[in-house]
Amino acid sequence: MSTPPSSTTPDAASHTTDPAPTITPEAMDQSGEAPSSAATGESAARKHRIKNAATGEDTSAYIGAKRSKVRGNIRGADKYKGKRTEPWGPKDTTAAASKGGVGAAASPVNGGGDSGEPVVVIDAPPTSTTETLQEASANNASEDKEDRLPKRKVVLLMGYCGTGYQGMQVNPNAKTIEGELFKAMVQAGAVSKENSDDIKKISMMRSARTDKGVHAAGNVVSLKMIVDIEGIIEKINSFLPEQIRLFGYVRTLNSFNAKTLADSRVYEYLLPTYVFIPKSSQPAGSQPKESSKDETKVETTTDSESTTTDQDKPEVAIRETVPEGSMAWEQRVHISTPEEMTEKRKYRIDEATLARVREGFASYVGTHNFHNFTIGHNFKERTCQRYMMSFNVSDPKMIEGTEWLSLKVHGQSFMLHQIRKMVGLIIMLIRTDTPLSLIPKTFEANKINIPKAPSLGLLLERPMFTTYNRKVQSSHQPIGFESYDKEMEAFKEKYIYEGIIKEELEFNRFDEYLQILDAHAVEYNFAYLNKEGIIPEEAIIKRGDTLATVATESDAEHSD
């Protein structure tokens, strides 16, 4: 076969005089097609420059061939072979060896080949270790995927007693409800090991954040969890303390958020009726004497006596032993004796007083500016506008010798301390016989100091998802506690109501609260408690004024 004439490749300096390259029949491949530009060593851009040179066109401004059809849109991209079809990494030479190709294993002993001639052995690259690692990694990944169960977006319906916890929301180095729940879910397998180190990985969000000491008969938490485990709720409950219970779960839309999609909430407040006893004529501000344990008398000063001698001061019996954590003792005010508390607990609210109580709480219903029922906000802020749908007062109920009322407020949302301050104002108005006409004045611009009632009686009844349930009624199960009413009531009676009653009977929390208010009425600027039902000038808090707040236990109310 004759050797094909070699084509001359013009250099950059003389490309205007060299002829265009030609393809001879001998240079055609076996398929009868001309070799690619890559095979001839010439790019599309160079061939185009040569063509232009042949026609005499000016190529001084030419920067390359048309790029719209060149993959990658860069020079030389015409050499791109397309998507790689072989696996990345060293090639496997086993197949070639089995066919006797290049790189086939041949024994160097005795020459090796069939013809008896020495065989040149070409060492294959050491690929066995790499391939083994790749295969092992692929197998492990496959096994992990098989073992890993899918997460689903759900809401958990739960209840808890907040006593002993630093609130609902998880916090570092704090004992919280969410912290206990997350730990139990990991132990039960509802959260995978990969997600067990960070609660954020399961997108946990609560519908109502309750703070220290506040309970919840029903609360809703949205998250991603593994549900394809038989009896998953019972399994999680087995790792939870008895004062935290899951009632069930509901599958939701993947975009569901328990906080933003809760369109209203219902709170309950348990209140002993003796707080409505008319303000006692007992002198306020009685100081417990610092003396030995065997002394059971305290020196007091009446309101009518500005100065008295020790002989003139009346003696008031106080308790010989004070329960640990007594707020009244810390505030240096009178602490009711067991005999005094027995008399107070005999009080039974009459129909007229109950009617006034119901009328007072009904005054909160509607949209009002509740700037006086929170802290850190002023009258002009729109966030102070809140909508209360209802505020109901139950009939009196006897529990262990004390008469109680259940207050239930249904609101769109609540501000910090709002419920406790609404309860506190009604208590003060009733026991001081202040007209209820004062309540609408608290929605006006004047700022006054309203004390918050104890956190002990407050609990979250349930959040409501009316709008969401209406939108998904044809595709998803509605979110609600109706299916768990019996379980929920039993839990509330055993772990919440009993806890509230026990603490009140042991520490007299509501009586201590009243003793503190009476002792510091002037300091706390309660001049608005009067027979006329007006807010006098001296009761209005001016800009820059500082007032002592009622020294009750730590703040413990939900804020939306």
Q: Give the active site residues.
A: 211
Whole-angstrom distance, CA of residue 420 vs CA of residue 417: 5
Smallest Cα–Cα separation from 329: which of 452, 166, 511, 501? 511
Give me 229's structure tokens: 């485990």
The residue behind tokens 């959260």 is 191
Q: Quick one: DSSP state of residue 486?
A: H
388 and 409 Cβ atoms separated by less than 8 Å: yes
Smallest Cα–Cα separation from 529: which of 455, 447, 435? 435
Strand, coil or helix: what is 244?
strand
Which helix (H) or strand (E) element contains residue 511? helix 509-519
Q: What is the DSSP string of 490-533?
A: HHIIIIIIHHHHHHHHHH-HHHHHHHHHHHTTTTTT-TT-STT-
Whole-angstrom distance, CA of residue 314 vs CA of residue 309: 10
The one-letter amino acid at 507: F
CA 154 to chain CA centroid, nearest Å: 14
**Residue 528 annotated as binding site:** no
Name every residue whose Cβ is closer than 8 Å to that of residue 461 and which is 6 or more positions away in sequence: 217, 218, 265, 266, 267, 268, 408
* Binding-site residue ranges: 267
Residues at the annotated binding site for substrate?
267
